[in-house]
Each structure stands twice: as C-alpha cells, then as structure tokens.
Structure 1
Amino acid sequence: MLSEPRSGRLAAWGNAFFAGLVPPDDTVTAIVGDDAVHRVEGLPGEPAPVGIALALGRLRSLGATGLRVALPAPGHPLGLSGPPEFNARALEAEEAVVCHGAAYGLVPEVHEAGPEGDVHTEVVWHCLPVREAPPADVPSLGEAERELAEALREATEVLTRLDVAGSGPVAEAAIDAYRARADKGGEVLAPGYPGRAVRVLEMARRVGLLVRVAYENGPGGAVSAGEMAARAAALRPVERTARRARVAAYNSVVEERERGVR
C-alpha cells in the first residue's frame, strides 16, 4: 500500500532533524501528518508525556544519533532486536522505532477521541528499553531492490495464471489513484535520504498495494481451494519482501552512516 506507517514518518523526519536538515516545527508537522497530536511517554527524565520536538531532543541528549524502523509480523520480527517485552509491544502495534546510539525504542498507541462528527486521532509513543544489537532480517538497499523485482515478477505470473483481479487493470487503476494521492502529499522520504532509498520505498509501496488489491478483489478465476491456497502462497512472500524493503529504505541513512558511506 502507498500509505506511510507512523514509524516511517517518525524515523525519516527524526533522522533529518538529527542531521540538522529540517527545523523542529517542520519535523513535528511531517511526523504528525493528519493526526491531531503525537506525544511520547516514558522518556527518562520526563515525568509526563512530552511533544515530539522535545522527545527528539531528549533522545539525542541520551545518545541517539539515528532512528530505525521495525515492521514486525507474526513469525517475522523484522527490525527488532529485543528484549521480548519490547518485541511483544511492537508486534501488537505492527510497527516500532528503535534508536541507534541509545538503548530505547518507541511503540505507538493510536486511539480516537472527540464527539461524533468531530473525531480525531491521537498517538502516544511509549518509550521502552531495547537491546543494543543488529536488527532482525533487514536487507541492504541493493538486496531489497533485487528481491522486490524478483518477487513482483514471480507473483504477477502466478496471479495472472490464477486469473486474480489484483494482477490486471483493477490493480493498475488502484495503484495509479493511490500514487496520485501520494504525489499530492509531498516528499516520499525526508531530506537527506539517498535517491535509491526513495526508489525502493516507492516500489515497495506499489508491491504492497498489489498484494492488498489481490486480496480484496475477490477470487477471480481461482475458485478451487487449491487455487486459493496457491494465491495465498504467492502473496505471503511478496508481502514479506515488501515489508523488508520498506524497512531497508527507512533505515538506509543510519545503515550508510554506520558503514561510513555518508
């Protein structure tokens, strides 16, 4: 899908903020997006929840030099490094942000507030201790790009053979519509990211949307149980590959800095 996870916005714009590429107000606006407010609770030295700008400043004072994204799914702790308590919270939320340089991570809790007809979304990021270790199963940008291209070809062949709606014009129309909406939303990634990361993230979004459309647009010609199982088998690894690629794109600034590229 083309929508951006909240962890992606926080990590991307937080990294740009750490690098001095965007001012605090612009950082907060980009991270909050269409939500009403984001706050961070549990920060060391802060007895009450604080706003995003103060939270990023506090994390930097604690040693954080970058932010990584985790997009875990059952059986696939993508981007996580422990401990189990943090992993469980991240898995429940299906996303998290992990600091580089400081042993802390952030897990979002999203809820709606306000009267009927005027409901808005509020987000509380819970700051929790994490284990300082390499994140699980995150590929390099080059690996992610190659895997995406291969997975997309294989899945398209299988879905076309099964006459699944997600492999034809329905999917293309949906992708074009979402792309138009995304283009209106501004930058794909925050300033400071390499062009390859932008390309990988755009492709991962496209692949993710293809998977979603294939699931949502009925069985097409895949009417037997065996054919339905074949479709699911084709989509599962593609969805996994798309998630890995998205994490690789969001984390690329930190990974390249670690390797001394930037």
Structure 2
Amino acid sequence: MLTEPRSGRLAAWGNALLAGLISPDDAVHRVVAEDAPHRIDGLPGEDGPVGLSLGLGRLRALGTTGLRVALPVAGHPLGLSGPPDFNARALAAQEAVIATGGHPLGLVPEVYEAGPGGAAADADVHREVVWHCLPVRDAPPADVPSLGEAERELAEALRDATELLSRLDVAGSGPVAQAALEAYRARSERGREVLAPGYPPRAVRVLELAQRVGALIAIAQGAQGPQEHGSAVSASQIAARAEALRPVERTARRAQVAAYNAYVEERERH
C-alpha cells in the first residue's frame, strides 16, 4: 500500500473531470501518471476498447455524475455491491471503480503485456492497463465508513502500527526495511497533492493519514519479502506480524475508500 491504487487515481481525477474542474487531457495525465497507457473496454455503445479520454467522456454521456472506489480483499468486499461476477473480478484485482448517477457500471483494471519477454527484451514489452466495464447493482457499497468515522479509526490504527513497528524493531532488522522507513519519513514531511480539486479538506486529511498507516504496514510486513527482515526473522515470525497488522490494514483500506468516495457522498448530500 505504498503507492496509490489505480482505482483511486481514476476516481479522484475522473470526478474532477466530471465536475468540470479540469480538462480531459489533465485528467488523463493525472490518472496515468507514470503508468502504462489506459483504455476502457466494454462501454455501452462502443464496439471495443477506447482511450481513457474518450471513455470518460462516454461515461459522462451515459449520465455518470460520480466515481466511487472499491478495495476488496478475500473476506472483505469493501465498496462492492454486486453482482457476483463483478465482485469476483474486483476481488481478483483487489480494486474497482463504480460509476454512479447514470447506468450502474463498474470498472476493473487488468494489466496486459505483449512482447518477446526476458530481462534483456524488457524495453520491447508493450504494456497497457485495460479497464473492463461491467454492469453492477445500484445498491449501497459494502462497509464504507463516513469520513468522521474513518478519521477516528485511523488515529488509533496509526498508534497501533507505530507501536508494533517499534516493538518489532523493524528499523534495525535489515537495510531494506531501514531504507523504507527513512523514505516513509521523508514522504510524510513533504507536501503533495493526494486528491483532485473538488474534494473536501477532511478527505485529503483522511487519505494522507491512511497512506501513512499503509506505509508503516508495508514496512512492518516486509514489502520486499522475508529477506527484507534479515536472517534473524523467520517466515513464521513474518506471518505473525501480518496477522497482528491485519486489523490495522483493514482500517487503512476502509479509510482510503471513504476518502476517495467523499466527492460522491458530498454531491449526494447536496
């Protein structure tokens, strides 16, 4: 959880586009960033995949007024509302975007690669992200908290993650973990734009805090694998860390979804 989910970028900057706060070119630039090119496949009225700018325009023409995020994992269908085939795709990707206000549609990303393969030929590999568009139920999303609830939960989760990190002495358990901890501290001190225009300040605050908690979780779990912790930490100990951090990770994911969905929640309230 050290990087933004694709669904978060698409929802945030797509919402800014739908609100007329940024141009289509700006929206595409912000969504894609340093990622592979994005296309949308399966849109009603389109015969095949279309570019992101055209796809977002098509969603607006279909009556879409907002985009929500879902970040489900096994046993926790966070942000989903069905049907089962869409939920299964979203669960496999561990993320999805739900279009609201018009045709009930969901978008699930999949990364495709084509090329000769092998490390030497990596530069020749073509990559693209295809968002598969499927029908979804027009129903409340599962287990998404309010911003206020998410903020309260995160304050406690950040304390828990920090205490566990200190107790496990993660910073001293290996050079990779120590470098990751230093990078996290540098990021937390550097101002950055985490949400698009149109979002309430509280959503920005909640997302920043959720990302900090997520960064600490990734460091404590060993984002690069068992070797990150050094030879003194066994696979069973790493598994125990993951189990201890699971409630904190769940809280951080719920807060991320609440923050990304705040634009739609505000619009529906007003």
Q: TM-score, structure 2 length as denominator? A: 0.86
Give the Å deviation of 1:187: 2.3
Alignment of 1:27-38 (within 5 A): 27-38=27-38
Structure 1 stretches (4+) deviating beyond 6 angstroms?
166-169, 219-224
Mapped pair 1:154 → 2:160: yes
Q: Distance between the aligned counterparts of 1:125 and 1:170, measured in 2?
A: 34
Structure 1 residues 158 and 230 mapped into 2: Cα distance closer, same or farther (>3 Å)?
farther
Structure 1 residues 45 and 228 mapped into 2: Cα distance closer, same or farther (>3 Å)?
closer
Q: Indicate which of 239, 243, 256 corresponds to 2:253.
A: 243
Structure 1 residues 224 and 12 mapped into 2: Cα distance closer, same or farther (>3 Å)?
closer
| Contact in 2 for aligned 1:155/1:234 (Cα 8 Å) | no
Mapped pair 1:135 → 2:141: yes
Q: Which runs of 5+ in 1 are unaligned?
A: none
Q: What amino acid does structure 1 have at the position aligned with 2:96?
A: A
Alignment of 1:186-197 (within 5 A): 187-197=193-203
Percent of pairs identical after alignment? 69
Q: What amino acid does structure 1 have at the position aligned with 2:66?
A: G
Q: Which residue of 1 aligns with 2:225?
A: none
Q: What amino acid does structure 2 have at the position aligned with 1:5?
A: P
| Contact in 1 for aligned 2:111/2:128 (Cα 8 Å) | yes
Deviations 1:177-214 (A, max 9, x none): 4558x86xx62111111111111111111111111111
Q: Which residue of 1 aligns with 2:107?
A: 106
Q: Which runs of 5+ in 2 are unaligned?
A: 223-227
Q: Distance between the aligned counterparts of 2:114 and 2:186, measured in 1?
A: 29
Alignment of 1:55-74 (within 5 A): 55-74=55-74
Mapped pair 1:218 → 2:229: yes
| Contact in 1 for aligned 2:81/2:141 (Cα 8 Å) | yes
Give the Å deviation of 1:228: 5.6
CA RMSD, aligned part only? 2.5
| Contact in 2 for aligned 1:165/1:219 (Cα 8 Å) | no
Structure 1 residues 6 and 84 mapped into 2: Cα distance closer, same or farther (>3 Å)?
same
Q: Indicate which of 243, 259, 267 corresponds to 1:257.
A: 267
Q: Distance between the aligned counterparts of 2:57 and 2:258, measured in 1?
A: 25
Deviations 1:73-114 (A, max 9, x none): 110101100000000000101110001123100001112345
Q: Distance between the aligned counterparts of 1:30 and 1:42, measured in 2?
A: 23
Q: Distance between the aligned counterparts of 1:31 and 1:77, measured in 2?
A: 24
Give the Å deviation of 1:13: 0.7
Structure 1 residues 33 and 93 mapped into 2: Cα distance closer, same or farther (>3 Å)?
same
Give the Å deviation of 1:54: 1.5
Q: Distance between the aligned counterparts of 1:53 and 1:224, measured in 2?
A: 45
Q: Distance between the aligned counterparts of 2:255 and 2:61, measured in 1?
A: 30
Deviations 1:14-33 (A, max 9, x none): 10011000011111111121
Structure 1 residues 222 and 147 mapped into 2: Cα distance closer, same or farther (>3 Å)?
farther
| Contact in 2 for aligned 1:166/1:215 (Cα 8 Å) | no
- The SS at the match of 1:206 is helix
Q: Which residue of 1 aligns with 2:89?
A: 89
Between Structure 1 and Structure 2, how many residues are aligned? 256
Q: Distance between the aligned counterparts of 2:110 and 2:235, measured in 1?
A: 40
| Contact in 1 for aligned 2:171/2:181 (Cα 8 Å) | no
